[in-house]
Copies of this chain bind each other. A is one copy, B any other.
Amino acid sequence: VIDLQDQHADFPQPNRILKLARRPVGVPVMTDWKILEEPVRAPMPGECVVAVDHISIDPAMRGWIDDVSSYLPPVRLDQVMRALGVGRVVRSRDDRLPVGTVVQGLLGVQRFAVVNGRWLNSVDESLGSARSHLGVLGQTGLTAYFGLFSVGRPVAGDTVVVSAAAGAVGSIVGQLARLAGCRVIGVAGGPEKCRFVREELGFDEAVDYKSENVTEALSGLCPTGIDVYFDNVGGLILEAALANLALHARVVICGAISQYNATIVSPGPSNLWQLLVKRATMQGFLVIDHTDDFPRARAKLSEWLSRGALLGPETVVQGDVDQFPEALLGLFRGDNVGKLVLSLDVSST
């Protein structure tokens, strides 16, 4: 047990860190990673040591480890894998974040993170559990909220289609669209996920892309066309949605999980001209452009959550940072329902 009173003593536990060993080709394999133990360095003025409790596992991670500059620089080799996480401040040299504060930030896949306090946000557990601040109350829920309402702009009565409907973002998008008075159709893989989005999350309809022709299924289920298509997957399901747009439809490009592990150039939809025929808009967005509005959105999500109008489904992997590579593979296989989180049961000090 760490003596929380002694801020300057050497940290009594080693850190356990998952680092990027080499850049994956296609699906990341075990040997793309390495795990090391290192001492936890003393925090500098303004810094905190955070004991990591929950690590967010996200499709975007696949992009972060390619050697391609994007909205964030690539994770460097021999560096801790970038990850959003929630934890507790166990040493602090930032007066605004005393020891014991529950915080959220880019903590990385490790047991202890030494981070400047300015990159940490304190978590308001009155709104929901610490872990839910990675899911429905975190970037996941906020991505769903801003992607749907700021980019998709549905109005009551609209037909909204969401892909990866049982996934972290998709499961929230569909529920929010229902709350906004829309008819919601989810596209998901397999009968169990389809049942889940219909029966547990209240979607109106679900299409199983593993057993159905998605273009034909959407055509049958959307007789007046799709007003908002919220895309998490790209590829053939995007093409199927484009083939069924309503006039003035909005296509929200939130992710393209079907493309992230491609080792050959993967062609895009062959029917982009549908945007012209339907005078439709396709727009990409990143939730980080909406940070000013996070508190307002989080308050709304929390209110729906607290009165049971919104569920924040989670798949939790318990273990150590060692479980990360397999958990990430599970994400790309679609093992999870809702938000996938790796919860460390080892760093509680």
Chain A interface residues (CB < 8 Å from chain B): 70-71, 234, 238-239, 253-256, 259, 265-286, 289
Contact = CB atoms under 8 A, between A and B. Distances in A.
22 contacts: A71-B277, A234-B272, A253-B273, A253-B275, A253-B276, A255-B276, A256-B273, A259-B273, A265-B270, A266-B270, A267-B267, A268-B269, A275-B282, A275-B284, A276-B285, A276-B286, A277-B286, A278-B284, A279-B285, A279-B286, A281-B284, A282-B282
Nearest first, the 9 closest Cβ-Cβ pairs linking A and B are A267-B267, A268-B268, A275-B284, A276-B284, A282-B282, A281-B283, A268-B269, A265-B270, A256-B273
B281 A272 contact: no
**Which has the most chain B C-beta neighbours within 10 Å: A254, A276, A282?**
A276
A283 B280 contact: yes
Contacts of A253: 272-273, 275-276
Contacts of A277: 70-71, 284, 286
Contacts of A273: 234, 253, 256, 259, 284
A5 to B, nearest CB: 46
Given A256-B273, A269-B272, 7 more contacts: A234-B272, A253-B273, A273-B284, A275-B282, A275-B284, A276-B284, A281-B284
A290 to B, nearest CB: 10
Nearest to A254: B276
Nearest to A262: B270
Nearest to A242: B268
Contacts of A269: 268, 272
Contacts of A286: 276-277, 279
Nearest to A72: B277
A174 to B, nearest CB: 20
A284 B289 contact: no
A238 B234 CA distance: 17
A149 to B, nearest CB: 16
B284 A279 contact: yes
Nearest to A60: B276
Contacts of A266: 270
Contact of A268 (B267, B278, B285): B267
Given A266-B270, A267-B267, A273-B234, A281 B279 contact: no
A70 B275 CA distance: 12
A277 B239 CA distance: 20
A206 to B, nearest CB: 25
Nearest to A235: B272
A82 to B, nearest CB: 16
Contact of A256 (B268, B276, B281): B276
Nearest to A239: B268
A280 B272 contact: no
**Which has the most chain B C-beta neighbours within 10 Å: A70, A255, A256, A282?**
A282
A120 B211 CA distance: 51
Contacts of A289: 279
A282 B285 contact: no
Contacts of A279: 283-286, 289
A254 B275 CA distance: 9
A272 B285 CA distance: 12
A234 B275 CA distance: 12
